[in-house]
Amino acid sequence: MSSPRARASLLASGAAVAGLLLSSLSGGVSYAADHESCRPDGLYKTPGVDVPYCSVYDAEGREKMGADHQRRVIGYFTGWRTGKDGTPAYLASNIPWDKITHINYAFAHVGAGNKISVGTDGPNNAATGMTWPGVAGAEMDPTLPYKGHFNLLNKFKKQHPDVKTLISVGGWAETGGYFDDSGKRVASGGFYSMATNADGSVNQAGINTFADSAVEFIKKYGFNGVDIDYEYPTTMKDAGNPLDWSIANGRRAGLVQGYTALMKTLREKLDRAGAADGKHYMLTVAAPSSGYLLRGMETYQQQKYLDYVNIMSYDLHGAWNEHVGPNASLFDDGKDSELAAANVYGSQQYGGIGYLNTDWAYHYFRGSMPAGRINIGLPYYTRGFKNVQGGTDGLWGKAAAASCPAGSGLTKCGDGAVGIDNLWHDKDDNGKESPAGSNPMWHAKNLEKGVVGDYLTTYGFPAGTKLTGTYARKYDSTLVAPWLWNAEKKVFLSTEDEQSVARKADYVVDRGIGGTMVWELAGDYGWNAAKGQYEPGSTLTSLMYDKFKAASPYGAKVSNKALPTKAVNIGVQFGEFKLGDSNYPITPKVKITNNTKTTLPGGTEFQFDYATSAPANASDQSGFGTKVISSDHTGGNVGGLKGDFHRVSLKLPAWQTLAPGASVELSFNYYLPVSTPSNWTVNIAGTTYALAGDLARGTTVVEPGTGPTPNPTDPPPSPGACTAPAWDASASYGSGTTVSHKSHTWKAKWWTKGEEPGTTGEWGVWQDLGTC
């Protein structure tokens, strides 16, 4: 997770709560008979499945985490800090179990045959076979059929039953491949080939195999769900690990569709398994925070399948380029040298909005999700540069490298800190240090205090090592970012400490955000008075726990305003996004489909919200009069965006009616990425309705002008005979070809063969042109 990923060249019906029936089942867990009443706002429910949401969520759709945990504290626990290599171990016994709510185990990978894997079982397998004889707290639970980290995680979960564990799959190094038992990386394609075929089509067979194996895996090893860390399913060329580009770049046109199909399939298979087992299995992701990466991920339409999103709101600046800035600032300060070089602040189209900060990333997702289904990321590690020129104590200076590290894929990069300023250094395939200024926060605190830790020899530094220069702590209150500045060495190390984490925790509480996610637990610090040095501890995690335990409940609704309780079945789909660096401005087609039995007259008005992560200048090029009618925020975003939504109005042209089963398209136009627009309403014959596709709690799907629809999934009546040729499973179809199938006309978005129309999802190869 802590690797370069932030290139920034730019860019259903709800049931009443009353009458809830509770029954105590084995294990002392209570379940509500009316599970729908516990479904989080906006979360997709697998059709025909009674998902046991109330095993995890309360009657307001908020996650139950224990009386003293009002907000999440999610910690990534890595499998490789075993201590077997001589460096300090960080085991399950070191986790501050009473201060956290969730643990994500990093990492499993997409292994041979597209199945989830943590490698071959055996005594050297850290996850399932390793033991730590003589280490207090690391004694195995003999009742479990496996050993390793998984045994210890479940041992401690018995003592802390409110803590949930998820298996995290992927990461920077294992998104497009995996490490075999010998430690050699296998360039298998990983997520890229499992979810997307070489021609860009969805690999549904690979997805099904993976999802089935993931369900089996979490049941076998006692996990509460699956966390997907796919870096990255974006159409931006050369995104993600350079080792994966040879596989990923050829699939860019289909990566988002594959990602969506993966999330939908996982959601549905986890829902079915959960219904059978009487407990809700969770699905979460580690999501990018970079405006560059998100620009190539359409509208992040996968969010509806997720219990929550963990935003990787770090790696916002680092040695992948020369611009010296903070790793994980909370806000923009209007001075970001990388954004200034791209003329972001001077562009009317961007509205002066700086998009390399946590607040911007939070608002991107807030446009389509309740605040409580979003968690902001904090790094327990540093990033840094050497030979920094200019700036204020290094901040917003430059550090250009004479040459880039071999295998980085870069032709121009920054001069990353090395040696004692890079304790957690990664190494390339030749064993050479990757310059990045990556240190656990406990080592950074020792540098700040001028302490030479006794652990340095275990990291390869000779006895008697001394520090050069002074590492002076600096802090910018606008950015909410601390750093260390060594004026003698011209070294800049971006850090986190009590002041910045306390401010970020307050931000979470004040805005009703679900909580925080940290990468990684082993970087937190504590003071060892006996040794006079900082060591791995829980200072920052404990601080967040203390801030959150008395907080008010998190925000559980998407909309900040009251929306109609009656919803109609009118579909809205954003599609036909341009790819990669050709997608500026962002100009998707918006397709509105009337799935009711009522003809919509010309002039029918739709309204919706989109996130303030983009300025209030959205428009259309199709005669629908799209305009922003109100804004929660205007202007730049120094110190943070002041509100969540822009409200938009568009109307069917006066001459254009929309018959049952018919669709209409318009070209939408905006300049910074937003997640899926939400909080839709439509006014039909003087009555305003919500749209069923928002999946809002407490709504009832109706036919316009009537009561509840008996079965809102019934297709609208057929207006006539189908004229396009019938779909043939053995035939090949090129882009733009139309076919008829099951009383609908379908258009192929790209080449396809054997994929049945109606089964590929709203972002799949077949576009539904309506009934026939």
Nearest 10 degrees: CA dihedral of 484, 361, 555, 566? 180
Dihedral pair phi/psi, residue 369, rounded to 5°: -135, 150
CATH topology of domain 22-548: TIM Barrel (3.20.20)
Q: Which residue has the higher pLDDT, 502 or 750?
A: 502
At 711 the pLDDT is 41
For residue 6, pLDDT over 80 is answered with no
Token representation of residue 61: 């759709």
Confidence at 721, pLDDT banded by 50, 70, 90:
low
22-548 matches 732-771 in fold: no
Query: How confident is the model at residue 621, as a pLDDT?
Result: 83
pLDDT at 246 over 90: yes
Amino acid 28: pLDDT: 33
Contacts of 719 (CB under 8 A, 6+ apart): 659, 660, 661, 662, 771, 772
Residue scoring higher pLDDT (712 or 456): 456
Question: Residues 28-47: pLDDT tens digits?
Answer: 333 334 799 999 999 999 99
DSSP 3-state of 390: coil
Confidence at 720, pLDDT banded by 50, 70, 90: very low
Tell me the backbone φ, ψ of residue 419, rounded to 5 degrees.
65, -130
762 — pLDDT class (breaks 50, 70, 90): low
Cβ-count burial of 159 within 10 angstroms (0-12 exposed, 13-18 middle, 19+ buried)? exposed
Whether residue 750 is predicted with pLDDT greater than 80 in this model: the reply is no
* Count of C-beta atoms within a 10 Å radius of residue 305: 21
Residue 492 Cα distances to 51, 321, 379, 483, angstroms: 50, 14, 16, 7
Q: For residue 444, is pLDDT > 90?
A: yes
Q: What is the pLDDT of residue 485?
A: 99
Mean pLDDT of all residues in 608-630: 95
pLDDT in tens, 581-602: 888 899 999 999 999 999 999 9
What the block records as the tokens of 578 is 């341009």
C-alpha 615/C-alpha 618 separation (Å) is: 8
**How high is the pLDDT of residue 209?**
98
Q: Is the pLDDT of residue 764 over 90?
A: no
710/396: higher pLDDT = 396
Is the pLDDT at 636 greater than 70, yes or no? yes
* pLDDT of 1 higher than 60: no
pLDDT confidence bin for 772, thresholds 50/70/90: confident
User: What fold characterizes domain 566-701?
Assistant: Immunoglobulin-like (2.60.40)
User: Using N-to-C axis directions, what is the helix angle for 252-277 and 204-221, rounded to 10°?
Assistant: 40
Check whether 287 has a pLDDT greater than 80.
yes
> For the packed helices 498-510 and 539-548, what is the interaxial angle rounded to 10 degrees?
30
Token representation of residue 131: 């033991």
pLDDT digits over 508-555, tens only?
A: 999 999 999 999 999 999 999 999 999 999 999 999 999 999 999 999
d(CA 221, CA 192): 26
End-to-end CA distance of the chain: 48
* Mean of pLDDT over the chain: 92
Check pLDDT > 50 for residue 21. no
Domain residue ranges of the chain, discontinuous segments joined by + = 22-548, 566-701, 732-771
Which helix or strand (DSSP H or E) is residue 110 part of? strand 102-110
Beta strands 72-78 and 102-110: pairing type? Answer: parallel
> Is residue 306 pLDDT above 70, yes or no?
yes
DSSP category for residue 392: B
Residues 378-427 have pLDDT tens digits of: 999 999 999 999 999 999 999 999 999 887 778 899 999 999 999 998 88
Give residue 763's pLDDT.
62
Q: Which of 236-240, 299-303, 576-580, 728-732 has the lowest mean pLDDT?
A: 728-732
User: Pick from 541, 526, 540, 510: which is nearest to 101 by CA?
Assistant: 541
Per-residue pLDDT, 724: 86
pLDDT digits (tens, 9 = 90+) for 341-355: 999 999 989 999 999
Report how far residue 95's alpha carbon sits from residue 580's, in angstroms, rounded to the nearest whole number: 41
Query: For residues 116 and 167, what is the distance between their CA atoms, to the nearest angstrom?
Result: 10
pLDDT at res. 714: 37
732-771 belongs to CATH 3.40.720.10: no
Residue 282 burial (CB < 10 Å; 0-12/13-18/19+)? buried
Segment holding 505, helix H or strand E: helix 498-510
